[in-house]
Amino acid sequence: MTEPLRFLELPSAPDVSFWARLAELKLNEYKLSEDPIPCVGHYRACAHEGLASPLTLTSASFDLDTTYESQIRMEGEVVLLNTLESMKTFDRKGAALGAIRKVEASVQSGTCLSDPTALNRFVLVCFADLKQYTFYYWVCVPAAKTADPILSEGFTQGVDQAACEACQEYYHSETKGRAPFWVLEGGEEGGYRCRPIDNGGEGGEDDEIATVAFVDPSHVAGSPGWPLRNFLWLLCGGLCGLRRVRVLCLRHEKLGRFSASRSAWHEVAIPPAGSDTTVNAVGWEHNSKGGLGPRSANLASTLDPKQRASSAMDLNLKLMKWRALPGLKTEEIAGARCLLLGAGTLGCAVARILQGWGCRKITFVDSGRVAFSNPVRQSLFQFEDCLDGGRPKAEAAAESLKRIFPDADAEGVQLSIPMPGHPVREGSDLHRRTLDQVSALDALISQHDVIFLLTDTRESRWLPTVLSLKREKLAVSVALGFDTFLVMRHGCLAQGSDRLGCYFCNDVAAPLNSTKNRTLDQQCTVVRPGLASIASALAVELVSSLLQHPLKGAAPDKSESILGVVPHSIRGFLDSFEQLKLSSPAFGNCVGCSPKILDAYDTEDCEKRTSFLTRVFNEPEYLEEVTGLTELKRKAQEAMDAMEAMDLSDGESGGESGGGGGDDDDDFQLL
């Protein structure tokens, strides 16, 4: 029984690297040109029960010398159109005919006998939307269409093992796995022999049957792969004049050898060619819905530079989890919303290291402008930021982060932090602005997870310390001396009676206005240039370790996370290259974190809160009164006076008592 032989369409499979290379060629070389771009694809024998072997296209497809062992080469061209409308009106018939005429020319010249890969070509027409990195494409592997259909006279699943072994030996030894067709002779007891189709191949009688082998990409029983179609046209109509052909369709096992059970014999008959010698072509690929139409590849996550930058940013963090730290939760710090109070030397360094950990959300707060002395020390600024009076530091730093990493969610807020000792007259415009600044800072701290205190004065850290504790945020202070530094995490309410101290807990004096009566060297942050980078790195690494701890910011001192210990504070000395890990509990009379300060700020009476803050700004010593430090120091002074009186009483008979006195200086700091 004869019936039309059905051929399985050769599916296309352009991979990501193919589109990346095509986008690069479009942008840098071809631009608006729509001239065909030569390229090559490859396919192989089917090795899967339910999946055909596709025509693969990679970045190497644009290197016309690319060949692979055990893969059949197919030449073609890419037509890269400039608009989607051009894609819709593209002359598909003309493109297919142009390709089949090149095949016909190889048949008429006999070139295809020495190089049978010339019997099949492909055309890929494409529109690249490089804004969205979506590629619309349609692939055609044109086949000559005969006036009457090619007929199947029989089909046998499974072939002789001897035939497969003979083909296996010839395919790998003689052709290096690159020949799509060859002639198979002999059989039965005489054994099988293989030879190329250009060795002999003269026309025969109508009843002569030629036996050929074919590397079959099809997975469907009874339907050979699409490349066989032009080969049969060559044998039966185009050159050899044969009318009947026996085809061995070879398919692979999983190990890459031809499978006797999966391969099949096809008995094929082709009607004689009519008087009309016009060649027509078919072969445009069906889309995913089964209809004739283009496909699309949305590669925004792979090819869009912002997406690629985002993926590249996360790559090192993901690689950490491969071997070094499989349990590392990189999303903890990458997802942390970080508020940087200060966009100077420390702020710039901290922001860059946070980006290294994959952190996207970074907000700068600073009231200053970029000065000419800044760019050499503050890595996010450049010379142009200093011109015309200088750009706002917070804004310039945020924009710089976005230039470095376009996917950064960076924001700059120009804001002055209200400070004790910086007086504001009640009821004045300055007073109203100051209260607005308090509200703005409170809102910013509430909206973030980690607060970095990176300002260059002691008093500017007071309000952020109070607000961070009240809003239960992880706060980290970084402070610099000339060749010393301090990195400290503030304790949090969740630690209860074991709460660690804050930046002010080791002081017994309220923060005063430190900006008055300063010489030039005191007005600038005079430190060794490498100190800020060291301290900033330790601050970010301390935060990254804390965020891996089950208790986060409430972790006890010197407990451990997957990244190591999480100390309360780190004090460094650059002159001796030493570091100390120190810890101190919260001080009950602390001017920054004691319960009395929190209660005074947290009052529901807005007038009382305003009155408290106003008095603090105008009379910083009021903090000592509220916390009991004034009474504590009074009692301490009384005790010292009593001890001195006792010493004088005991020494009356001994003449003059030594002692020198000297001014008391209660205003000491951690640094």
The per-residue pLDDT for range 239-255, each reduced to its tens digit, is 566 778 899 999 998 76
Residue 310 to residues 133, 359, 362, 540, Cα–Cα distance (Å): 15, 11, 15, 20
pLDDT at 660: 41
Does 467 have pLDDT greater than 50? yes
Average pLDDT over residues 331-358: 96
Does 488 have pLDDT greater than 70? yes
pLDDT level of residue 278 (50, 70, 90 thresholds): low
Among 38-47, 272-281, 401-410, 416-425, which stretch is predicted with the lowest mean pLDDT? Answer: 272-281
Average pLDDT over residues 593-619: 88
- Six token digits for residue 328: 């590392």
CA distance 466 to 493: 12
Nearest to 38 by CA among 78, 81, 74, 65: 78
pLDDT level of residue 395 (50, 70, 90 thresholds): very high
Average pLDDT over residues 326-345: 94
CA distance 165 to 651: 117
Catalytic residue selected from 126, 140, 386, 524: 524
Catalytic residue status for 167: no
pLDDT tens profile 26-76: 887 888 889 999 999 999 999 888 899 999 999 999 999 988 888 999 999
Model pTM above 0.85: no
Q: In what order do the strands lie in the sheet with 361-366?
A: 409-414, 361-366, 338-341, 450-453, 474-480, 484-489, 569-573, 578-582
* Residue position matching structure tokens 């390229």: 39
Domains and CATH numbers, the chain: 3-144+284-300 (3.40.140.70), 151-279 (3.40.140.100), 327-647 (3.40.50.720)
CA distance 13 to 631: 82
pLDDT at 664: 41
